[in-house]
Structure 1
Amino acid sequence: MTAATLRTYTCKDLAQMAKKEGVTGWHSMRKEELIDALAKAARRRKRRGDSPPSVEQNGKSTSNGTPRLTPAQRRAKSRIDALRTRLSQLKNISTSEEESATDKDRIVLMVRDAYWLQALWEVKPSSVERARTALGHNWHGAKPTLRIYKVLEDGSSTLYRDIAIHGGVNHWYVDVGEPPSQFRAELGYSGANDTFYCLCRSSKVATPTPGSTDAVNGNWSDVAENADRIFAMSGGYSAQGTSMELQQLLEERLQRRMGRPTETRFGNGAGAQAEDREELSFAVDAELVIYGATNPHAHVTVEGEPVTLRPDGTFAVRMHLPDRRQVVPVVASAPDGVEQKTIILGIERNTKELEPLVRDSMRSL
């Protein structure tokens, strides 16, 4: 303990410390004399390798010459520690306490409709520690980030949006525009000087043309109730297929296979005796969804019927699609009635019913 440190103590505290050090004549010494005697005692103790004695300072027990905190100081320190813990939790985006919970890091993009994606991820704690080491001094200011890229027609990607996320969650809804478009995502930490440490990447997904999904399903339901629709919109039934990560994720969560019905729902037990089999009933109809956009205060009609515009001037109309050719006029008029524009839609529905196909169930036995 140096003389400068000892001068921060009161004369009473120094006298108590001198008494415990065994300084001769401590009771008659002044403050500077006590400081000098204690400094010499500290040097002797340092040479011997002894520990300093605990003392009482202003009625508070101290050890190693450091005073204990007052109640107010302890409360302040507790709040600071809690804040540091909370900040650490917000930065930690690992989704499992044990390494065995997931064998790899992964992020999956799912298409919810034309304007919304849902990102789901699983990250190991060890991966977060690797990010901390890789970012080094940039870790202090690093932020968990969900990075969305737009995939262009030539296959290249351009940064579409950075979304600041936080720990304690494993999914995020992302609003996107310009449908139909293709997107992919990366999950990681963004630091200073545009540094970005990527933990995992998703496969690309394509949002559908707006209108039909908006009109049919205005509200989201649980993934379990709409799993097949989400799987289809994310490319599950397309010729290219969807990402294996998405298929694995849905199968893990729903505890069933995902794929075409002929691949997942029919098997050896699906067959029945011909005389016991109930005849398959099947009927199909169709609706037409017309959507567009104009000035918010314009007047729009479809086949002469007025259409209600949304606040941004967009609109969507559902109407029956008969099995024939038809012409649908869509007319927009300016609020003052001076200008009018007309678009004619020529639409033809041609429905054909093919001969039924009856599979021989004995072939799969």
Structure 2
Amino acid sequence: MTAATLRTYTCKDLAQMAKKEGVAGWHSMRKEELIDALAKASKRRRRTGDPSETDSVASAAAASPLARLSPAQRHAKTRIDALRARISQMKNIASPAESESDKDRIVLMVRDAYWLQAFWEVRASSVERARTALGHNWHGAKPTLRIYRVLEDGSSTLYREIAIHGGVNHWYVDVSDPPNHFRAELGYSGSNDAFYCLCRSNKVSTPMPGSTDAVNGNWNDVAENADRIYAMSGGYSPQGTSMELQQLLEERLQRRMGRPTETRFGNGASSMVDNREELSFAIDAELVIYGATAPNAHVTVEGEPVTLRPDGTFAVRMHLPDRRQVVPVVASAPDGVEQKTIILGIERNTKELEPMHRDSMRSF
């Protein structure tokens, strides 16, 4: 059997043939090494005139199901098997075994007025249950992230349906019309429009767009901005946030989430208060004015022209002095015939309270 013929077989088949031939070290050989060893074994048999060359290599090859296929058919089957494996991998949204949680969960976090981030952990057994439940519809099923808009009466309506894939455990979702309320579901959409839900998220509320967006932009790392994400997702509100979000952040960051006075100061925090310098603290403020008009209009703020974005929106940052002020914003039509003015009355009143000194013996 020639090397060219041997190359038409898979590495697994070649390994079985080498095992039957008694090739030493066959289990650690690569495909080309197996081919070379089998070809040499075949030549040795022919030189010695061993009639069994009719042939243990050939008989081992014939024992393989692929041996009954032509080279073109074997190539096609290999490609089909690889495609099936790829589809299975893309459909599997289970968490890796080493990081698998004891339950399925999806947590929704607010990144800013226009972006949410969904993070999930799903057990492999839950994916298998979804496969069983969907039955013959599993073939066409797709892992799906559903975003729902939560209405004032507590009911919800489907806002977006996003096809996701395996190999990831989070997804960024752009939303509109802030402020708004959202929740999410993670599962599989079947070919018959059926949806098998694996887990549901907490409810979050996006803030009004403004200075947070203009000054800070999108956040790049949850760990660095965990306290801010926690706060924007309702962590410091009177109603609080969901336990899922709090548990997730605490597990990932290995620290408690909550107000700094509850989580960052413990016994003895001020035990050396008399030996340290006085705490320095000062703040200032900026005013962010944003709006929208016709893309070709002319806008001024306090008489200063403002550059419009292509869609007619604009945002202006100004220093906010510690006093009352009136800010006129004027928009003029391109031909100058029509003009509209909006007056903003703004007051900043900054007060410094008496400093507090913590009791070093107090337990938190």
Residue 94 and residue 64 in structure 1: after superposition, are their counterparts in 2 closer, same or farther (change >3 A)?
Answer: closer
Deviation at 1:353, TM superposition (A): 1.6
Q: Structure 2 CA distance, aligned partners of 1:245 and 1:60?
A: 57
SS at match of 1:332: strand
Counterpart contact for 1:185–1:202, Cα < 8 Å? yes
The corresponding residue for 1:4 is none
Counterpart contact for 2:301–2:330, Cα < 8 Å? yes
Q: Structure 1 CA distance, aligned partners of 2:208 and 2:303?
A: 25
Deviation at 1:67, TM superposition (A): 6.3
Q: Structure 2 CA distance, aligned partners of 1:250 and 1:297?
A: 46
The corresponding residue for 1:224 is 223
Deviation at 1:95, TM superposition (A): 1.1
The total of aligned residue pairs comes to 308
Unaligned runs of 5+ residues in structure 1 are: 1-58
The corresponding residue for 1:331 is 330
The corresponding residue for 1:169 is 168
Amino acid at match of 2:341: T
Residue 252 and residue 363 in structure 1: after superposition, are their counterparts in 2 closer, same or farther (change >3 A)?
Answer: closer
Residue 171 and residue 61 in structure 1: after superposition, are their counterparts in 2 closer, same or farther (change >3 A)?
Answer: closer
Q: Structure 2 CA distance, aligned partners of 1:197 and 1:127?
A: 11
SS at match of 2:97: coil
Counterpart contact for 1:61–1:68, Cα < 8 Å? no
1:265 matched to 2:244? The reply is: no
Residue 283 and residue 77 in structure 1: after superposition, are their counterparts in 2 closer, same or farther (change >3 A)?
Answer: same
Q: Residue deviations 1:95-143, cap 9 Å, x none?
A: 1236x73100000111111101111100000000000111111111111
Deviation at 1:266, TM superposition (A): 0.4
Deviation at 1:216, TM superposition (A): 1.3
- TM-score (norm. length: structure 1): 0.80
Q: Structure 2 CA distance, aligned partners of 1:270 and 1:175?
A: 42
SS at match of 2:268: helix
The corresponding residue for 2:211 is 212
Write the mapping of 1:1-365 to structure 2, written as runs, cut at 5 A.
68-97=68-97, 101-364=100-363
Give aligned-pair identity as a percent: 84
Residue 331 and residue 120 in structure 1: after superposition, are their counterparts in 2 closer, same or farther (change >3 A)?
Answer: same
Counterpart contact for 2:114–2:178, Cα < 8 Å? yes
Deviation at 1:62, TM superposition (A): 5.2
SS at match of 2:149: strand
Cα RMSD for the two superposed structures: 2.3
Amino acid at match of 1:309: L
The corresponding residue for 1:17 is none
Q: Residue deviations 1:303-339, cap 9 Å, x none?
A: 1111111111111111111111111111111112111
Amino acid at match of 1:313: G
Q: Residue deviations 1:195-242, cap 9 Å, x none?
A: 110000001101111121211112432111111111111111111111
Residue 60 and residue 247 in structure 1: after superposition, are their counterparts in 2 closer, same or farther (change >3 A)?
Answer: closer
Deviation at 1:66, TM superposition (A): 9.6
The corresponding residue for 1:23 is none
Counterpart contact for 1:60–1:68, Cα < 8 Å? no
Deviation at 1:271, TM superposition (A): 2.3
Counterpart contact for 1:96–1:102, Cα < 8 Å? no
